[in-house]
């Protein structure tokens, strides 16, 4: 009786979830990492979004220019604003307005104030030049008016300090520094505004402090500090204490023996604070000071050596304007992070070391709280953090800190325990590739062994193997009902085992290997909601620089992934585990501009192409037989062929495409590497065939002329260099993105065009346009063009006649107006190319990705008339000049995917499905079915009712069969 009760229990336990609301595919097949970028130390803080609210939010402006508010409780993003898209310099500034519902950001040339709760813009103001510093002006009296903002700009070699009104961002006054000094920072105490700038030349700078009146903006005083021996670059100045009661400026001497400090406003006074060396030389010194006027004027000097770190706390005597050492924090091994938080006048320093979190008050060296560090996994050591200390009772404290680790995670440590972690290192991806999960080879190997040995031993081996397999039988039997139920019950997809990488029957489980601009590699499991399989710090990229990845290639046969950077660096890792197999450092190989996967006589490999499109000499055994298409120094497109001479092969230029004078090449696209075509012609309504022009060796070159506002598109044959088709657009805004895609027998591009007085031929239109062109072998149906049905074609000698013209495609073009700019275009890929392709376009202004079906983008749609029945049969409907981006077309539905740079696609085993992965700042992945999921049962298919119908029929037959049989026998006796 055990089994039935068990079964009953199992059934009952499954029932409630089975009858829950059917989850739509949204949020189920797609995944999204809502990322901010690595938070910067000076732009990350806790702040109350409302004055009367107790809970704080965590604000940051990241290295990618994303401003965001994070809920410190659970770590989800409350709101985000992408500010970095127009800014060329990535250094931004973010300041909270204490006691108000506002945060103020400045990046590039614009200053904006944001509602701290909702993330809506309150005001914004744009200036020329670039922002150098931003500060919120503290007022002495607690008046209710919004606080004004000081913004320091560098414009045309001059420094401008502007005071912006806190209510609307208008300029209240402007101070222009006529000298050509480098503006560095602005700082205030209540009475004065200090502008610190670097005076002199790059051989060594003196610090110039200009004191301004905060009400009028007039200069009241100015003094210079002699620092020529110590300061050579703006980075050498450590800190200009912001809004504290006694702002200071600090720097170190070159050998890092002494810290030099000037209390702003005290002319010509430089105080020397010795830096104690404990073990080895000090490599990094950081200063942390509170940012509030009411806080005590204390600061901490945090000095790092290679193996340990220590800190000294100093007090500033306001009346004498002197600095004295209060106490020291002991030396501890490893790296650590110190953060400052202030509550009223109290200042707390939170020190994060390798194994504990310590909170001390700035006033005395007594430890207020000490918690051992418990992280869920190794995350490297802490780099910097922001913390919030709360006094619970008289002598109990609680602290939570958001800390950036060397593994580029952003971890919230709450009283020593890990609250949450965000994979901010995944942001800023510069290159990505799909990789197949290697097949499990153990069984294949075993079978191979059996095949090779003699029959008797093979038989014994097999029997023992099967007996061995018996140990899995109970497990299998136990899982059988679960598997059966999960396969028939709707809404519950079979949960994948965590941490197990295996291929699935549909081909959805694939890896994506990505490389970020900060030199890290990640392996993502696309079949398991994009979960991180492994991560690896490949190269140390200096701050302010980006890793320029030129090639990333996952070899399916070897199970390795190769990444090549622009400066010759190279790393080869195991695709599934992320273990480094081989690597070289930057600079050890020549600079490269691109890479290409070529098929040499021995193996496939990633061939680096040097600057100016010169791959250089390669060994003959590796030389590819194919032609190569490369770009030269000025963007010109060239065809190359390797000519073997002895043991080496040299590239020879076979043709060059140079754009017309004052045009420059902005983009070259080719057909995807995997671009199968199932049908070589389009069947028309009258059952004739328009043959597609299917030349694999074509590229679409985009050239623009900024002066003449022209954009030209050239379709080139990449073997012969012939121009197959070209078109020119007038009145094009070349600053707007021009995206293009080429696949199968069609290409499309989008641009912003205006009506020009010279256009007279066609009814021109103004706005964003998408243009689609289809190429056919001939304009006459049932005609295969001049080449007819010859089985092979050569671009070099198109026909037997010498020097014959190439067979030009017949191109049908149509343009459509679209509501917004397209940042990037790509097309879906499926296994056999039976499914129609979908054009995937990223929309930077609405942070979305749209999939435009080909039926909409059909250049043969009848214009100005209703379609004939034959055209209707083809699925053509009347041309409408505007394509609206229907919310149903948006692949990202409600998600906001910001900063998408590229979308890569990969075929699944199911013909209907294409895997999509979008990267940039955010990471987004989904599956698309352009011709609908014709080869898989949808979620809406009610397997339960099918099974129950079959069971009911079976029961009916079992019950009725004896009855019918009895009746028949009785009937015979009655007759």
Partner 1 sequence: MAAPPPPPPQWVIDLNTPPAARPKSAGIVDPPGYTASSTGSKARSPKQVSSKTPARAPPTTEEMDVLKLKKAWEVALAPVKQLPMTAIMMYMSGNSLQIFSIMMVLMAFKNPFMGLMATNQAFERFESKGTRAKLIMVKGVYVAMQILALALGIWKVNKMGLLPTTRSDWLAWETVRDPMEIAIPAF
Which of 236, 356, 450, 626 is in the footprint of partner 1 by CB under 8 A?
626
Q: Is 609 in the site for partner 1 (CB under 8 A)?
A: yes
Dihedral of alpha carbons 471, 475, 477, 478, sign: positive
Angle at 892 between CA 889 and CA 897, to 5 degrees: 135
Q: Which of 102, 303, 575, 695 binds partner 1 (CB under 8 A)?
A: 695
Spatial distance between the Cα atoms of 622 and 599, rounded to a whole number of angstroms: 8
Question: Is residue 563 near partner 1 by the rule CB under 8 A?
Answer: no
Which position among 64, 97, 629, 904 is part of the footprint of partner 1 (CB under 8 A)?
Answer: 629
Verify binding: residue 568, partner 1, rule CB under 8 A: no
Taking Cα atoms as reference points, which of 380, 359, 376, 384 lies closest to residue 421?
376
Asked if 562 interacts with partner 1 (CB under 8 A), we say no
CB of 766 to partner 1, least distance (A): 32
Compute the residue count for the chain: 975
Beta-strand runs (E) in 289-321? 298-305, 308-317
Torsion angle in degrees (nearest 10) through CA of 436, 442, 443, 444: 70
Q: Which one of the spans 373-381, 523-531, 605-613, 935-943 is the region binding partner 1 (CB under 8 A)? A: 605-613
- Does 804 engage in binding with partner 1 (CB under 8 A)? no
From 795, 815, 905, 926, residue interacting with partner 1 (rule: CB under 8 A) = 795
**Residue 618 found at the interface with partner 1 (CB under 8 A):** no
Binding status of residue 834 toward partner 1 by CB under 8 A: no
* Binding of partner 1 by 687 (CB under 8 A): yes
Q: Does 718 bind partner 1 (CB under 8 A)?
A: yes
Task: Note whether 696 binds partner 1 by CB under 8 A.
Answer: yes
Q: How far is the CB of 853 from partner 1 (least distance, A)?
A: 23
Which single residue is written with the structure tokens 């400045």?
A: 106
611 binds partner 1 (CB under 8 A): no
In sign, the C-alpha dihedral spanning 397, 400, 405, 411 is positive
At its nearest, how many Å lie between partner 1 and the CB of residue 773? Answer: 19
Q: Which of 139, 294, 486, 594 binds partner 1 (CB under 8 A)?
A: 594
Going by C-alpha positions, the residue among 700, 716, 696 that lies closest to residue 748 is 700
Nearer to partner 1, 580 or 679 (CB): 679
Closest CA to 524 of 492, 561, 494: 561
Determine, following the binding rule CB under 8 A, whether residue 689 of this chain makes contact with partner 1.
yes
Under rule CB under 8 A, which residues in 632-661 are in contact with partner 1?
637, 639
Distance separating alpha carbons of residues 556 and 437, to the nearest angstrom: 8
235-254: contacts with partner 1 (CB under 8 A): none
589 is an interface residue for partner 1 by CB under 8 A: no
Distance of closest approach, residue 729 Cβ to partner 1, in angstroms: 22
Q: Which stretch binds partner 1 (CB under 8 A): 377-385, 455-463, 675-683, 809-817?
A: 675-683
- What does the DSSP 8-state code read for residue 863? S
Nearer to partner 1, 521 or 700 (CB): 700
| Residues facing residue 221 across a β-bridge | 211
- By CB under 8 A, is residue 607 in contact with partner 1? yes
Q: Is 905 in the site for partner 1 (CB under 8 A)?
A: no
> Across-strand partners of 312?
301, 328
> Which of 790, 863, 957, 964 is the binder for partner 1 (CB under 8 A)?
790
Q: CB–CB of 606/594 below 8 Å? A: no
Give which of 925, 856, 845, 922 is closest to 886, Cα–Cα: 856
Closest contact distance (angstroms) between CB of 932 and partner 1 is 22
Q: Is 791 one of the binding residues for partner 1 (CB under 8 A)?
A: yes
**Does 704 engage in binding with partner 1 (CB under 8 A)?**
no
Q: How many residues bind partner 1 (CB under 8 A)?
A: 48
Could you tell me whether strands 618-619 and 637-645 are parallel, antiparallel, or unpaired per DSSP bridges?
A: unpaired
Reading the block at residue 581, the tokens are 């197999």
Q: Taking Cα atoms as reference points, which of 420, 411, 401 lies closest to residue 381?
A: 411
Q: What residues does 56 pair with on adjacent strands?
A: none
Strands (E) located in 65-170: 66-70, 77-82, 92-96, 102-107, 110-115, 121-126, 130-136, 149-155, 158-164
Minimum CB distance to partner 1 smaller for 113 or for 628: 628
Nearest to partner 1 of 247, 624 (CB atom): 624
Contact residue for partner 1 among 796, 870, 872, 953 (CB under 8 A): 796
38 binds partner 1 (CB under 8 A): no
User: Does 809 contact partner 1 by CB under 8 A?
Assistant: no
Nearest partner of 266 among 303, 227, 321, judged by Cα? 321
CA dihedral over 620, 623, 624, 625, signed as positive or negative? negative
Residue found under tokens 């085993």: 909
Which DSSP helix (H) or strand (E) runs through 462? helix 455-469
- By the criterion CB under 8 A, which residues form the site for partner 1? 594-598, 607, 609, 613, 615, 624-631, 637, 639, 668, 670, 677, 679-681, 683-684, 687-689, 694-697, 699, 718-719, 781-782, 787, 789-796
């Amino acid at each position: 009786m055990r089994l039935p009760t068990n079964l009953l229990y199992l059934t009952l336990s499954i029932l409630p979830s089975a009858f829950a609301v059917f989850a739509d595919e949204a949020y189920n097949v797609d995944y999204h990492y809502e990322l901010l970028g690595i938070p910067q130390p000076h732009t990350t803080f806790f702040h109350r979004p409302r004055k009367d609210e107790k809970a704080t939010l965590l604000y940051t402006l990241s290295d990618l220019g994303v401003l965001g508010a994070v809920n410190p409780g659970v770590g989800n993003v409350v709101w985000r604003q992408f500010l970095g898209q127009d800014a060329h310099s990535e250094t931004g500034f973010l300041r909270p307005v204490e006691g108000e519902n506002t945060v103020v950001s400045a990046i590039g040339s614009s200053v904006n104030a944001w509602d701290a709760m909702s993330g809506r813009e309150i005001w914004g103001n744009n200036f020329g030049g670039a922002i150098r510093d931003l500060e919120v002006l503290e007022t002495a009296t607690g008046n209710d008016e919004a606080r004004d903002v000081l913004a320091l700009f560098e414009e045309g070699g001059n420094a401008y300090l502007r005071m912006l009104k806190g209510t609307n961002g208008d300029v209240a006054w402007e101070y222009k520094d006529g000298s050509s000094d480098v503006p560095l920072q602005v700082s205030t105490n209540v009475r004065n505004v200090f502008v610190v700038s670097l005076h002199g030349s790059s051989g060594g700078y003196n610090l110039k402090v200009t004191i301004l009146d905060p009400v009028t903006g007039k200069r009241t005083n100015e003094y210079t500090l002699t620092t020529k021996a110590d300061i050579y670059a703006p980075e050498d100045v450590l800190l200009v204490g912001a809004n504290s009661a006694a702002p200071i400026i600090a720097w170190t001497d070159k050998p890092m023996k002494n810290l030099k400090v000037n209390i702003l406003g005290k002319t010509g006074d430089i105080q020397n604070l010795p830096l104690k060396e404990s073990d080895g030389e000090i490599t990094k010194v950081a200063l942390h000071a509170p940012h509030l006027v009411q806080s005590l004027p204390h600061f901490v000097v945090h000095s790092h050596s290679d193996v340990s770190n220590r800190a000294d706390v100093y007090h500033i005597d306001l009346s004498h304007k002197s600095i004295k050492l209060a106490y020291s924090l002991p030396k501890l091994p490893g790296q650590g992070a110190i953060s400052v938080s202030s509550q009223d006048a109290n200042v707390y320093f939170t020190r994060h070391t390798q194994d504990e979190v310590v909170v001390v008050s700035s006033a005395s060296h007594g430890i207020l709280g000490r918690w051992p560090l418990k992280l869920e996994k190794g995350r490297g050591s802490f780099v910097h953090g922001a913390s919030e200390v709360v006094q619970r009772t008289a002598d109990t404290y609680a602290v939570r800190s958001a800390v950036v680790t060397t593994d580029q995670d952003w971890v919230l440590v709450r009283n020593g325990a890990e609250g949450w972690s965000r994979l901010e290192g995944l942001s800023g991806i510069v290159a990505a590739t799909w990789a197949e999960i290697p097949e499990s080879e153990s069984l294949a190997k075993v079978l191979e062994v059996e095949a090779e040995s003699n029959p008797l031993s093979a038989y014994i081996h097999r029997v023992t193997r099967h007996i061995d397999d018996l140990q899995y039988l109970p497990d299998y039997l136990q899982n059988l009902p679960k598997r059966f139920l999960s396969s028939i019950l709707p809404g519950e997809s079979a949960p994948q085992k965590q941490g197990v990488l295996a291929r699935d029957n549909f081909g959805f489980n694939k890896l994506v290997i990505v490389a970020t601009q900060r030199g890290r590699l990640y392996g993502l499991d696309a079949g398991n909601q994009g979960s991180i399989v492994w991560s690896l710090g490949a190269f140390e990229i200096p701050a302010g620089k980006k890793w320029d990845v030129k090639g990333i290639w996952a070899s399916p046969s070897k199970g390795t992934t190769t990444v090549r950077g622009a400066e010759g660096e190279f790393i080869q890792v195991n695709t599934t585990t992320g273990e480094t197999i081989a690597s070289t450092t930057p600079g050890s190989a020549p600079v490269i501009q691109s890479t290409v996967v070529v098929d040499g006589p021995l193996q496939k490999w990633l061939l680096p192409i040097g600057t100016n499109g010169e791959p250089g000499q390669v060994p003959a055994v590796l030389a590819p037989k194919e032609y190569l298409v490369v770009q030269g120094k000025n963007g010109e497109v060239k065809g190359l062929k390797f000519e073997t001479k002895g043991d080496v092969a040299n590239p020879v230029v076979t043709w060059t495409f140079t754009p017309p004078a004052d045009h420059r090449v902005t983009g070259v696209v080719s057909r995807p590497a995997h671009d199968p075509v199932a049908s070589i012609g389009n069947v028309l309504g009258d059952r004739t065939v328009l043959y597609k022009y299917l030349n694999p060796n074509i590229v679409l070159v985009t050239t623009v002329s900024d002066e003449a506002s022209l954009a030209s598109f050239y379709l080139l044959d990449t073997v012969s260099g012939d121009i197959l088709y070209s078109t020119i657009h007038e009145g094009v805004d070349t600053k707007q993105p021009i995206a293009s895609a080429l696949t199968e027998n069609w290409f499309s591009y989008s641009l912003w065009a205006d009506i020009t007085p010279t256009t007279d031929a066609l009814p021109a239109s103004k706005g964003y346009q998408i243009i689609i062109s289809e190429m056919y072998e001939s304009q006459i149906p049932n005609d295969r063009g001049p080449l007819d049905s010859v089985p092979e074609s050569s671009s070099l000698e198109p026909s037997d006649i010498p020097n014959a013209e190439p067979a030009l495609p017949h191109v049908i073009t149509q343009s459509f107006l679209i509501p917004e700019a397209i940042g990037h275009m790509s097309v879906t890929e499926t296994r056999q190319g039976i499914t129609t392709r979908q054009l995937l376009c990223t929309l930077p202004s609405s942070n979305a990705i749209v999939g435009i079906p080909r039926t909409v983008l059909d250049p043969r749609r009848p214009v100005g008339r209703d379609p004939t029945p034959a055209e209707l049969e083809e699925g053509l409907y009347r041309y409408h000049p505007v394509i609206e981006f229907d919310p149903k077309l948006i692949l990202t539905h409600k998600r906001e995917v910001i900063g998408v740079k590229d979308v890569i696609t990969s075929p699944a085993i199911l013909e209907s499905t294409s895997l999509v992965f979008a990267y940039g700042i955010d990471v987004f992945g989904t599956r698309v079915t352009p011709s609908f999921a014709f080869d898989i049962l949808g979620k809406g298919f009610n397997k339960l009712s099918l099974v129950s119908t079959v069971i009911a029929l079976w029961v009916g037959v079992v019950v009725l069969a004896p009855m019918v049989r009895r009746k028949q026998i009785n009937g015979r006796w009655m007759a």
